[in-house]
Structure 1
């Protein structure tokens, strides 16, 4: 619908004295009195006389045309021309009383001057003939004339009857003499509309599609590149010229080729708006796309072109921020009334799609475009509700006696609440059906997963957002997900995509498990590339492992690390993933080696580390913490278990959480025990000051001891039964937070450098339990199972029943835990298995028969998980060879050249 209004005759407001206005109102009343009997010739003549009187009373004003075409005629000259034309029309009507009854009379009101003409014409007269008569009367060039009726511009080729102008109707027809700063754009669109009209009439035009696209390209190419209010007027040209309407008419045309031509043209316009114009301009063209949607929706809600327009409009709502209150001028705003019909339509479509997936899981179910559009159209409504809630003007329906078009009514909000409940209940039924199907047969990857399920996660995400808007809705939503936890986990692992935002799924971790949480946080990392040319290359000397690794990683631009790493040791033959896995293991052992003073191990668990408050002894300690954060993130990104874990104190700070007394149990058991005693002591005893404690802490730094006050004036504040809780808390914060805050900050910064979105660093750790991170960094805590090992091993050149294979597994079964780890490391460069054991490795393991002499040691291809050895003649010989390669200094190189 055009945003141009069609004012009636009594809507004229001009500057001037009260007498003039009074006379004009009186004239208006007299004019109305003649309305019912205008088909009588005498009445019509009197009517024309009154129009002439009224026009002569209008405020004198010269009329300027656009650009160089200026008509400088006096008002009396113009009035004379108009009066003559009216008199001519009257005399003509008297002399042709028989034909007058078949003619139409209508007003043409000239904007913005406010003058009104009364004209007559036959139903078969063209709009062009009316333009020519107006030019004769007023002197306005045809080029400037725009006739608007019911919000649409009338086209020259149309007849009055085609414009739906009924016989003898008292019509409000606006004749707008438009002076514009974009005459070329008007001309281009007029030429395009004229071409389309000819096509609608069945005329043949050579290369019509090419011409229409050319007009559109030229028009958009003229678009001002500065976003201001004048640009709105530029885009209004497309609407005022009725271009959307005639394009849809062409789409509905019965003539061969017209439908395809219109389809391609409309898609070309929308595509060009989205790609050729900046996002700031999307606000301006959105109303045009909305007009296409409204026109096409009347054709059919399933029409492919309508669905494409709807999706384009929805994407504009998301990218351009059109709906932000007050961000655009009034004429550019997309209103709630514009959006709500789409929400209703899409909600119904989603419910039907979910019903289909319940009845038949093999059905298509909810479509991707419907779900995507549902999200897009709900986004501005959710934004508006939050704004209303913040302003405490929730769901106000009136302002100054009229509906406030920027606010959501109570009824509309209640409808959204019903949409939430209906779709949530449907999703509950869908997940139940999904569970029945999975329980009915063995879980086989892909065999029992249906396309109808692929949109469930996206629908749940939108329900999550809707639940935030209504009281009690969040509890309903999470209650359903808690009861459907197993199905939610399946959806996450199978359908969660790297490009989606999954933060909502981790808001309540109890509806997930380790496997699904790991899957979600791993998508916060970039995807490791397979093309070696894109990888960050490193050539490391083993003897300078830490220093050279620091130079390669700490000095690199963060973006260069996102594709992944390519690793090679100097003077060694091997390259590839196996070498990289070994490097991760070795460099992490060096970073967390207490001798390097960066981290300290927990007294009760030497695998757990936290930053060393005394790391300042290393001149580059903060840079090394940034380097450490990058290395750990890269190890996680490459899915390498490095055999170390973080202490809870360190983990909590990375997650932005508060550290309490219970959290320091492993980091400092002695301090934990002392603080517990202080908190549990008899109040009278501690108030006696027998302990002699004040709000200070002694710190040893570079061989010297110093006293640190826990609060201002802490030296003079004695610890008593009333302030001991505060004392313990301040002591913990100073010892485990303040003293290592810089180290933690730099580590977090380095970790964030590797993430797709650095702002998600804290959320990454917040999304996991400490045990989750333990499993991801360290791997399985279980002793390596020989049976599981055998199950995941295949043979090449050997058979499972060969003596050498039987001897091999018997020897492995007798090995110590550490020997098995060293053998696995030699074989795969994996010393610590994933939490799900051998099943979690990237590949099965292989034993190959080599043609080497039997006096040679076994060899391995760690990239491919291959162990190779010749057919040793006896079990004792094989045992001797395996004993040699399970020594740590032997299993940590790949041969030299």
Structure 2
């Protein structure tokens, strides 16, 4: 029974993972199902099962509009023993589209006509994807031929006894290989991709494991023909394109037949004998040696190394000794390990030399010809990533790799800042943070945060009453769509006309002051550094405190995303918890100096004194909640267990864990979740904090902690309708130079909505600052346009008048929301 679903009735749309290239509809491999000598059957469901499933039309059948003009999905009922061909026949009855123009996929598995639903492991209520081949398919003849060959092999696997035909897999494979162009490398690679993606290796190994001798011989003949013929088809420097296919044969044969099987040994030997290893290494060595701009696309090396490493690591775990003599290494891939070892050292040596030259250029003419220099530099990072992966399988090589990266740290960090992009995996760099500087670590962290959208229409809008700033901001965030928050913010304060980046910066500063205000009871300030905060164990006095911690996590993530310095920093304990690290005694030094010193004394006391119960301690901890002191056991029956010289370390660790981990676990979890919501996933949240040091986060959240430099301020200020030599400008800088540090910050806030500068100082701002002349009376106070960093005032007649006006606006209560923003 079939029925046609109209577009509005569709159940779901296939995910991007299921999308197939319109020019090549069989790029997704079939899940390998190999028959072994002990098991000749393939089954996933009882053959009598009745299934209901949907066929989703995923591609554009533009040349059959009259057939499927508004059909989006087809509903089917079928027995699990029915073949895929019967499904195709029904689809053709409904749509009129020939089977030669379409394929069926289940997830990532291409379903062949000869297979049954049970063999394809199709489950009840599953979704199959109907994928069409566009008329512009690059190799339609080859495409049809290899799919016919695979279907033919599937039929051979099922027949008992084997079918009697006038062709063989070897003959069909011979015809397919004859269609591969000998001179067009791009087309040759396309044919090889076609061979692998059509599940030909899987089908041939299935046939090889058949209990019938004729089938086994036919498969053996076909695989041997492929191994010997492919080398004559491709030029030597393109042999690496065959490596993934041969590795796939090796993997399948190893699992199905074992390492002593003759065909497996032949595949292994063919892989080891290929001269691709040294040829590829030489190719990259030459490119590296030429110049920084000449490095070729590293994907060629990746396509060779990735499958080989995957296969090596899939064997029994082994770390190969640091030696070029691998003859004594009991490893199934000893030949490849030896050659890969040589490639690693050759490329690493030349890379070290290139990075040294690049580092010299950074300090001289890098900025002058950066557009030329940067071409191809992103491949350096990719090459380093590949070498780092290779280094892990050799004892000592990983350390050697990182030592060389440290020796060229300047060039390495510049490459990271210039070339690391969003969406790429840079986790390998976090393995050795010593090779990076603050700029590189900040760049990698910022690449994990969403990019603020330029379109205001997609940003989250908030209209906040200053008198209820924290509560209203919390409610807006609580009900906001996460996607709109990731896009950015559009802020207004009630009864104020100002909008734009200046208002957003001011809101971040004010809302963070409110969140971390001790009176809010969410966070506690460290006694020795009032800028540092960690979660308050007593925050649960507020029934919605955990929701506020989630809100706080979102605000901090958004502040970092908008590059706003909010003037607060995290205590080391809080930072380490967000990064997923264990808390130790040394970590609590700033958060609780008294407890830290007490624990140090307990650990340093003479054992005899501790054992004589001089401390009088048991495994309990006293805490105060809402003015009431409570005693909490640190372990079962803790009050009955005395602290002695043998268990004092356990006592100290338990005390620290309870005070700084267990007591605030929920608060940290909700803060981390809020932060992760903005980033997109919790895994990225931990990676964000792991790639940074505490000092890095200090600089990103608090900004420049040095006193504001008036000279730097002046150097980054321009003038409109004023000249630098005007009396008013000379008076202005003299007055600013005499201000207190707090007055300077209030003036900066009035001018820019920032109290704290970026780490780079005024040069880190998005643009220069401006002092603009107005033509109002001298009785008017200065005003500002914080979005564009404009400070406006009239030509005051005397220095005293200007001093009086600036004194008024550098009062905290006046600077807040004063002027034009």
Same-fold call, TM > 0.5? yes
* Structure 1 match to 2:665: 741
Is 1:497 matched up with 2:421?
Answer: yes
1:625–1:747 CA contact under 8 A, matched in 2: yes
Aligned to 2:399: 475
Shift of 1:862: 1.7
Name the structure 2 match of 1:348. Answer: 279
State which structure, 1 or 2, has the greater radius of gyration over its C-alpha atoms: 1
Aligned partner of 2:633 in structure 1 is: 709
Separation of aligned partners in 1, 2:200 and 2:475: 46
The one of 852, 872, 880 equivalent to 2:776 is 852
1:385 aligned onto 2:316: no
Q: Contact conserved, 1:784 with 1:820, CA < 8 A, in 2?
A: yes
User: Is there any run of 5+ residues in structure 2 with no aligned partner, and where?
Assistant: 1-84, 86-111, 116-134, 159-167, 207-221, 322-330
Provide the rounded CA distance (Å) in 2 between the counterparts of 1:485 and 1:413. Answer: 29
8 Å Cα contact 2:173/2:226 also seen in 1: no
Residues 1:605 and 1:715: Cα distance change in structure 2 (over 3 Å): same
Residue range with higher mean Cα deviation, 535-544 or 215-224: 215-224
Specify whether residues 593 and 423 from structure 1 end up closer, same or farther in structure 2 by C-alpha distance, changes over 3 A only. Answer: same
- Asked if structure 2 preserves the Cα contact closer than 8 Å seen for 1:438 and 1:448, the reply is no
Query: What is the total number of aligned residue pairs between the two structures?
Result: 656
Q: Distance in 2 between matches of 1:537 and 1:297?
A: 62
The runs of 5 or more residues in structure 1 that have no matched partner are 1-66, 68-178, 183-208, 253-258, 395-406
1:248 matched residue in structure 2: 180
Summarize the alignment of residues 287-436 of structure 1 with structure 2, pairs less than 5 Å apart: 298=232, 301=235, 310=241, 337=268, 340=271, 345=276, 348-349=279-280, 351-362=282-293, 364-365=294-295, 367-368=296-297, 371-390=298-317, 408-436=332-360
1:667 equivalenced with 2:591 (yes/no): yes
Distance 1:560 1:340, change over 3 A: farther
Aligned-partner Cα distance in 1 for 2:604–2:632: 25
Q: Which residue of 2 aligns with 1:604?
A: 528
Task: For CA contacts below 8 A with separation 6 or more, give which structure has more relative contact order.
Answer: 2
1:551 aligns with 2:475: yes
Out of 532, 537, 555, the residue aligned to residue 613 of structure 1 is 537
The whole-number CA distance in structure 1 between the counterparts of 2:186 and 2:610 is 86
Cα distance change on mapping 1:180 and 1:575 into 2, 3 Å = closer
For residues 281 and 572 of structure 1, what CA distance do their matches in structure 2 show?
Answer: 69
Q: Please point out which of 461, 464, 484 is paired with 1:560.
A: 484
Does the 8 Å CA contact 1:244/1:291 hold for their aligned counterparts?
A: no
Superposed CA offset, 1:554-577 (max 9, x none): 333433332222222222212222
Q: Distance in 2 between matches of 1:439 and 1:516?
A: 17
Matches within 5 A, 1:684-723: 684-723=608-647
Question: Residues 482-502 of structure 1, C-alpha deviation per residue, up to 9 Å, x if partnerless?
Answer: 211122111111112223211
Aligned to 1:594: 518
Deviations 1:496-517 (A, max 9, x none): 2223211111211111111111
- What does 1:82-161 correspond to in 2, within 5 Å? none
Distance of aligned partners of 1:355 and 1:514 in 2 relative to their CA distance in 1, 3 Å threshold:
same
1:166-315 pair list within 5 angstroms:
181=114, 240=172, 242=174, 244-248=176-180, 298=232, 301=235, 310=241
Residue 814 of structure 2 aligns to a residue in which SS? coil
CA distance in 1, matches of 2:339, 2:278: 10
Q: Secondary structure at the match of 1:418?
A: helix
8 Å CA contact 2:749–2:815 kept in 1: the answer is yes
| C-alpha separation in 2, matches of 1:211 and 1:763 | 42
What residue in structure 2 maps to residue 131 of structure 1? none
User: Is the aligned partner of 1:767 residue 2:691?
Assistant: yes
- 1:529 maps to 453
Could you tell me which residue of structure 2 aligns to residue 520 of structure 1?
444
* 1:327–1:373 CA distance, 2 compared to 1 (3 A): farther
Separation of aligned partners in 2, 1:291 and 1:848: 81
Q: Is the 8 A contact 1:223 1:231 kept in 2?
A: no
Q: In structure 2, do the counterparts of structure 1 residues 295 and 522 end up closer, same or farther at CA, with 3 Å as the change threshold? A: farther
Preserved CA contact (<8 Å) 2:284 2:347: no
Match of 2:432 in 1: 508
CA displacement at 1:779 relative to structure 2: 0.8
Whole-angstrom CA distance in 1 between matches of 2:453 and 2:246:
34
Partner of 1:819: 743
Q: Secondary structure at the match of 1:455?
A: helix
Distance in 2 between the 1:325 and 1:474 partners? 32
Indicate how the Cα distance of structure 1 residues 321 and 378 shifts in structure 2: closer, same or farther if over 3 A, else same: farther
Asked whether 1:584 is paired with 2:508, we answer yes
Answering whether residue 556 of structure 2 is matched by residue 632 of structure 1, we say: yes
1:784 aligns with 2:784: no
- Match of 2:791, SS? strand
Give the alignment's TM-score, normalised by structure 1: 0.65
Cα distance in 2 between the residues matched to 1:317 and 1:633: 47
**1:652 matches 2:576:** yes
Taking a change above 3 Å as real, the CA distance of residues 300 and 245 of structure 1, as seen in their structure-2 partners, is: closer
The question of whether the paired residues in 2 share the 8 Å contact of 1:247 and 1:266 is answered with no
Question: Which deviates further from its counterpart, 862-871 or 467-476?
Answer: 862-871
3-state SS in 1 of match to 2:451: coil
Residue 35 of structure 2 corresponds to which residue in structure 1?
none
Distance 1:180 1:607, change over 3 A: closer
1:588 Cα deviation after fit: 0.8
The 1:873/1:646 distance shift into structure 2, 3 A limit, reads same
Shift of 1:608: 0.6
The one-character-per-residue Cα deviations of 1:673-719 (angstroms, maximum 9, x if unpaired) are 22222223343333332332111111112232211011112111122
Does the CA contact (< 8 Å) of 2:241 and 2:303 recur in 1? no
Residue 540 of structure 1: CA displacement? 1.9
Residues 641 and 832, structure 1, Cα contact 8 Å, conserved in 2? yes
Shift, 1:421, TM fit: 1.0
Distance 1:607 1:327, change over 3 A: farther
- How many angstroms apart in 1 are the aligned matches of 2:377 and 2:138? 42
Give the CA deviation at 1:742: 1.0
Query: What is the distance in 2 between the residues matched to 1:663 and 1:764?
Result: 20
Native 8 Å contact 1:574 1:894 kept in 2: no
Q: Which residue of 2 aligns with 1:864?
A: 788
Q: Distance in 2 between matches of 1:691 and 1:896?
A: 64
**CA displacement at 1:435 relative to structure 2:** 2.5
